[in-house]
Amino acid sequence: MLPIEEFFPLLTTPRKIIITTHQKPDGDAMGSSLGLYHFLIQFSHTVTVISPTNWADFLEWMPGVNTVVDYEANKRRCHQLIEEADILFCLDFNVLHRTKNLEQPLTQAKCTKILIDHHQQPQEEAFNYGISNTGKSSTCEMVYDFIVASGHGDKINLDIATCLYTGVMTDTGSFRFPSTTASVHRMIAHLKDIGLQHTPIHDHIYDNFLENRLRFIGQALLHRMDVLYEYNTALMYIPKSDLVKFDIKTGDTEGLVNYLLTIKGMRLGAIVIDRDEERKWSFRSKGSFDVNTFARNHFEGGGHMNAAGGRSSDSLENTVKKFREIIKQYENQLQ
């Protein structure tokens, strides 16, 4: 993978460009993809954002989201777009299988591939150019850096600012995680100078749910949570029946894991949700407990030091049982 700076001279010649990101894109995935989209279209490139799957309703307000193509709903069109593309940007994921069924078409694509990502252990050999920096708060911050470093900072308009703010906000837990550096605040100050309105973005993302989601959370907190005090760990497990009963949609479970770490003294929060195709884990930690390694070693996952995900193809009951067993070996690390 060549340094991304070497790609800058190629930026200004109009090309067919695809931007893609991980499945079930979150604020950072969608924000970085659309932020880059609004930048690249200013050079007369033909740009299409392809999402591997659908996305949460709370992202539907984003500038340009109506141009995003859902791969699962438009496979044939996406295959053609990928085949014709000159350049492919892969944002906010480290390994191609995070694009689910899009992995194969992306692997086979003959075009120039560029990675911009902040997850650990990227699949570097799959990309021609790229930047992987786990010290960055978000891929949105990296897209901002990319635009500025390319010498085109003057092209950052309100659409770009709005999209990039969204991902920095969601990936830093609204500017509270340790990844929120001085450069993050300087970037946001620049976006504010351009005219960014941040309050509506918080409202769109965090205050835009239906009553059923709050009742679902109530049920989960009352009946689906165990606090394992000896391991400073809180565990939550959501059966499919709850998802059906409360009509839970993509995005409704986002952030649920964060409740677990609000209990005093907790070092690890773990939630597993019984999705159709797999049991999906989310892990969050405070301090030095490395959930990236934990997820990698035990649940086919990964991510960051303090936020990671994983999966299991076993039943919900067995998956939870396995977690309870595994956690015993981490008793010391969790003190």
Please count the residues of this chain forming the interface with Mn ion, following the rule CB under 5 A: 4
Q: Report H helices in 181-255.
A: 182-194, 199-206, 211-223, 240-245
According to the binding rule CB under 6 A, does residue 52 interact with ligand 5GP?
no
By CB under 6 A, which span of 63-71, 162-170, 223-231, 300-308 interacts with ligand 5GP?
Answer: 300-308
Interface mask (CB under 6 A) for ligand 5GP, residues 6-45, using x and -?
Answer: ----------------x-----------------------
Q: Which strand (E) or helix (H) includes residue 302? A: strand 302-303
**CB of 335 closer than 8 Å to CB of 323:** no
Quick one: 171 or 274, whose CB is closer to Mn ion? 171
Which phi and psi angles does 17 have, rounded to 5°? -120, 135
Nearest approach in angstroms of CB 42 to Mn ion is 24
Amino acid at 171: D
Nearest approach, Cβ of 303 to ligand 5GP (angstroms)?
A: 2
Among 301, 302, 190, 208, CA closest to 252: 208
Give the whole-angstrom CA distance, residue 285 versus residue 269. 6
Q: Is 141 in the site for Mn ion (CB under 5 A)?
A: no
User: CA 101, CA 32: separation in Å to the nearest integer?
Assistant: 21
* Site track 252-291 with ligand 5GP (rule: CB under 6 A), x = hit: ------------------------------x---------
Question: Which of 170, 174, 146 has its CA nearest to residue 160?
Answer: 146
**Span of 66-74, 94-102, 136-144, 217-225 interacting with ligand 5GP by CB under 6 A:** 94-102
Strand-pair partners of 48: 18
Of Mn ion, ligand 5GP, none, which one sits near residue 249, judging by CB under 5 to 8 A according to partner kind? none
Q: Residue 28 and residue 4: Cα distance in Å, rounded? A: 20
Task: Identify which of residues 105 and 310 has a Cβ nearer to ligand 5GP in the complex.
Answer: 310
For residue 118, the minimal CB distance to Mn ion (Å) is: 6
Q: Which two tokens stand for residue 124?
A: 């570097």
Residue 304 binds ligand 5GP, judged by CB under 6 A: yes
Please give the distance of CA 131 from its chain centroid, rounded to a whole number. 16
CB of 30 to ligand 5GP, least distance (A): 12
Q: Choose between 119 and 267: whose C-beta lies nearer to ligand 5GP.
A: 119
- Note whether 309 binds ligand 5GP by CB under 6 A: yes
